[in-house]
Structure 1
Amino acid sequence: MARYKLVTFDVYAALFDLEGSLVPEVRAVLPPEVDPVAFFRLWRSKQLEFALISNSLGRGHLKFKYLTERALEYALKRHNLELPADTRAALVAAWNRLRPWPEAGEVLAGVKARGCLTALLSNGDEAMLRELAAALPVPVDHIFAADQAGFYKPHPAIYELPLKTLGLDRSEVLHVAGSASDVMGARSFGLPCAWSNRGRDYVLEPDLGPDFEFPDLTGVLSLL
């Protein structure tokens, strides 16, 4: 019998290569004097900042696509840049065409072979995640999105989605996180958590550290 019934994967860090996918898109449309890596990292940081702020505004859920658009506008203003509307739209749409990490297909297949269901558990909108899931070399069984929960990570509502939807206990779900804040959110909610820590980062609160930590996704298979 499998140790876990469901393995959920973070999307924008654990399962997909965000920077490797989007920096080339940014580089293609920016002036040569603008560092595309720095521009992308500002865009991403403001997107995450807006997600965290929106959890506390009490104004209802703001779609992840909208946050992405607003964060892009911020990054452009900070660099005193303007881009045509169709170019901005193309940059936002590129979030639906991310490349998975090289080992993602092997790991998803291995999880399934060990008798576990697989799922995406992400800040993305469900529509965005369905496009990404369709491009994976191995299909996932479920998609749990922030717009289903009405909140963004690390709010507990998003980590509760698999339990409410599938009737599982916390101990039956292994969450594979890709960032320190995701680790803390999952652990605070009480989910067992494995961290694919490619960036060799650290959690701010040691009491909410991961149960398991690996340099990439392949270590997950040793837990099943």
Structure 2
Amino acid sequence: MSTLAPPRASDYDILSFDCYGTLVDWESAITSTLQSILLSHDAHWNDAVLLEHFAALEPVEQERGGSYRAVLRRVLERFGSRLGFVPTESQLVQFEECIARATPFSDTVDALKTLGESFQLAIISNTDDDLFALTAPNLAVSFDYVITAEQVGEYKPNLAVFEHALQGFSCSKSRILHVAQSLFHDVAPASALGIATAWIDRTKGKAGATAPSEARPQWAFQTLVELVSTIQDS
């Protein structure tokens, strides 16, 4: 935990969230889908290696641009190139949608419902509008703002994504707390713009599906339950 005083509810009007990896268990979706596809081609890597390669490939493909569906298709094609197989069209579609159809973490829905009683809620996500539409019903709350990479034409950690969000929010950046699992995609750019950050350490310090970063959040929590308890008690 940070040595700073805990975040106070009275200091913020908007809590913005990364979605995949923070609210939704994208790593389980990535590995289970990839393992199924690899097995059909008699290819074999363990989950840790799959996530390591995904973490390296995804930002490269995002830099090339295009929809997130296109990014994921190219990522899967590059897995195929490295492992000696060509994914079928149905497998490409399956991988395009696996993250959007992933299950929320067990603490997500209750935390969002509780926080929504006191704050406006926002999503800032590296996804397409139609993919987030697949995810949204599972989160069981209405978000006041939804900002996607498709809307901005850029992917986090590009500052343009957060700058776009700030332009649409109803308060100054000093009244926003951004909550995210990825130091690389979220904590680094949000901090660079002076937005307060709370890191949810979903991977318990292990390497996962995001690139490494030396970014340091103001606060760190193991779960959303811990965040809710802290911000309510402060």
Task: Say yes or no: TM over 0.5.
Answer: yes
CA shift in 2, pair 1:172/1:121, >3 Å: same
* Separation in 2, partners of 1:167, 1:138: 19
Length-normalised TM-score, structure 1: 0.86
In the alignment, structure 1 residue 216 sits paired with structure 2 residue 227: no
Matched, 1:49 2:60: yes
Q: What is residue 91 of structure 2 aligned with on the other side? A: 87
Once the two structures are TM-superposed, the CA of residue 43 in structure 1 deviates from its matched residue by 3.3
1:141-220, aligned counterparts within 5 Å?
A: 141-181=144-184, 182-199=186-203, 200=205, 204-205=213-214, 208-220=215-227
> How big is the shift at 1:48?
2.2
Matched, 1:138 2:146: no
Percent identity reads 23
Q: 2:111 aligns with which of 91, 107, 114?
A: 107
CA–CA separation in structure 1 for the residues paired with 2:126 and 2:191: 17
* 3-state DSSP of counterpart to 1:120: strand
Distance, in Å, in 2 between the alignment partners of 1:141 and 1:147 is: 18
For 1:121 and 1:145, locate their aligned partners in 2 and report how far apart those are by CA, in whole Å. 6
TM-score by length of 2: 0.83
**1:21 equivalent in alignment to 2:29:** yes
Change (3 A) 1:184 1:40: closer
Q: Report the count of equivalent residues.
A: 214
SS of 2:143 mapped into structure 1? coil
Q: CA deviation at 1:45?
A: 2.9
CA contact (8 A) 1:26 1:36 kept: no
Q: Cα distance, 1:73 vs. partner?
A: 0.4
Q: Runs ≥4 in structure 1, deviation > 3 angstroms?
A: 201-205
Counterpart of 1:34? 44
Report the CA distance between 1:41 and its aligned residue.
Answer: 4.0
Residue pairs, 1:51-90, within 5 angstroms: 51=62, 53-54=63-64, 61-90=65-94
| Alignment check: 8 A CA contact 2:72 2:95 kept | no
Are the equivalent residues in 2 in contact too, given 1:192–1:211 (CA < 8 A)?
Answer: yes
**SS state at 2:171 partner:** coil
Unaligned 5+ segments in structure 1 are: 55-60
Report deviation, 1:80. 0.4
**How far does residue 219 in structure 1 lie from its aligned partner after superposition?**
2.5
- 1:26–1:201 CA distance, 2 compared to 1 (3 A): closer
In the alignment, residue 35 of structure 1 is paired with which amino acid? Answer: W
Instruction: From the two aligned structures, give the one with the greater helix fraction.
Output: 1
- Higher RCO structure (Cα 8 Å, ≥6 apart): 2
Residues 44 and 71, structure 1, Cα contact 8 Å, conserved in 2: no
How far does residue 180 in structure 1 lie from its aligned partner after superposition? 1.3
* Displacement of 1:201: 5.9
The offset of 1:15, in angstroms, is 1.0
Counterpart position of 2:6: none
Which amino acid letter does the alignment assign opposite residue 180 of structure 1? L
Matched, 1:12 2:20: yes
- 176-185 or 139-148: bigger deviation: 139-148
Provide the alpha-carbon RMSD of the alignment: 2.1
Query: How many angstroms does 1:122 deviate by?
Result: 0.9
The residue type equivalent to 1:135 in the other structure is N
